[in-house]
Amino acid sequence: MGNGNVFEVMSVTAAAPIRSQSTRTKLDWAIVASSLLFMIALAVSAYFEPPIRILHTLQALIYVAVIVGALRHQKWAYGVGISIAAFWNYVNLIACCLWALFAPAQQTLDRCRHSIG
């Protein structure tokens, strides 16, 4: 500091503290466990429904990326994990249930169209 260099005082590093990447929290392990559990469910579903194996494989790859990103404490991984979970909950709980409510009406419309044309 005594050599006249003004920028020496303002030297700041943007690197993460040592061991921050290797420290695992309960949230990290919860993300790993829940992602692995969902990937097992995808594998079982793919086993019983061969036509959608490619879809389930691609979905599982997303969860592999989420696990890797979360263990590296990357913010995008948390966002992707939460977004995917929210989307699939919406599809399974709301969209599919609403479709089940309107399916009988759709079948009636289809029968009417078939009898007319």
82 part of a folded domain: yes
pLDDT digits 0-9 by tens, 29-83: 888 999 999 899 999 989 999 888 998 899 899 999 999 999 999 999 989 988 9
Domain extent for 71: 24-116
What percentage of the chain reaches a pLDDT higher than 70?
62
Indicate if the pLDDT at residue 115 is higher than 90: no
Q: On the CB side of 70, how many CA atoms lie within 13 Å of its CA?
A: 23
> From residue 94, how far is each of 7, 31, 44, 88, 91 by CA, in Å?
58, 24, 23, 10, 6
2 part of a folded domain: no
The per-residue pLDDT of the chain, averaged, comes to 77
**Tokens at 101, concatenated:** 């409510």
Q: What is the pLDDT of residue 13?
A: 44
**Tokens at 39, concatenated:** 């990937």
Q: What is the pTM of this model?
A: 0.60
9 part of a folded domain: no
Residues with Cβ within 8 Å of residue 49, at least 6 apart in sequence: none
What is the domain count for the chain? 1
15 part of a folded domain: no
Quick check: 42 and 56 in contact, CB under 8 A? yes
